[in-house]
Amino acid sequence: MTGLVYWLDMAGVIVFALSGVILACRSRMDPFGMLVLAAVTGIGGGTLRDLILGVRPVFWVTDPAYLWVILATVVLSILGFHYIHRLSRVFLPVADAFGLALFTVIGTHKALTLETPGVVAVLMGLLTGVAGGMVRDILARRVPMVLRQEVYATASIAGGVTFVTLEALGSPLGVSIVTSLAITLGLRLAAIHWRLALPVFAWVVVSRPPAPEQAPASGEPPPKPLRPKARVKLIPPERSRRRKGKSS
């Protein structure tokens, strides 16, 4: 089963590296820029995970095959640039969803093998899944997917919690992996297809109705006008999108 985990990890590196290449193409970067985005997306999250968990050296230092896989992905993408450039814009979030699911499982599994608490393992799975994509989007001057309203980090957390729970119940490793992959990928793909999003909290100003005009008594100062009242309000995703559309 260790071989299965290794090849799943390698598959996640390939998928995330490909998403970095696609974004680099759309950002009109040169081949070196494509290599940088592919590398930070493919191994960035796992590198931060190993550094936090105290794993020395990090995984791609002991196994340079990860670096060669990223390089091969970039080279093949350059050779097939015409086809990569013509991919629909839906392909990038879908490829990112597969990478998120794979890396969530890998990060959670590695943290559990190091005997960390369950909550730490879930956080390590989340970090492995989202950190590389965050760096990729920042370098490409995009708002990271994890910081948007879409269901992204929530899907990773759900998959990590599922994996930790099944492992605590003594389920076979294959069952834990497949179930966690299905939940993370299913939630993320559903969010892409139906544009599912979480509600947001916003600081809004609520206007008050004007007070009826009354003549002040003799010697009394005029009444002060009511000021608008500010409070935190929960805005549904649909209304939030409408406000963004109006402001733009």
pLDDT tens readout for residues 119-143: 999 999 999 999 999 999 999 999 8
Residue 57: asked if its preceding bond is cis (omega within 30°), the reply is yes
Contact criterion met (CB below 8 Å) for 33 and 78:
no
Measured between alpha carbons, how far is 194 from 213 in angstroms, rounded to an integer? 51
Measured between alpha carbons, how far is 156 from 92 in angstroms, rounded to an integer? 17
17: left (phi over 0), alpha (psi -120 to 50) or beta: alpha
* Residue 117 exposed, middle or buried by CB count within 10 Å (0-12, 13-18, 19+): exposed
Q: How many CA atoms lie within 13 A of 248 on its CB side?
A: 6
When computed from its CA atoms, the radius of gyration of the chain, rounded to whole angstroms, is 24
Measured between alpha carbons, how far is 135 from 119 in angstroms, rounded to an integer? 24
pLDDT tens readout for residues 197-229: 877 766 666 665 555 555 555 556 666 665 666
Ranges of H-type helices in the chain: 2-26, 31-53, 59-62, 65-79, 81-85, 91-113, 118-139, 153-168, 173-194, 237-247
- Per-10-residue mean pLDDT, the chain, length 248: 86 94 90 96 97 95 96 93 76 91 97 96 97 95 82 95 97 95 96 84 61 58 62 63 52
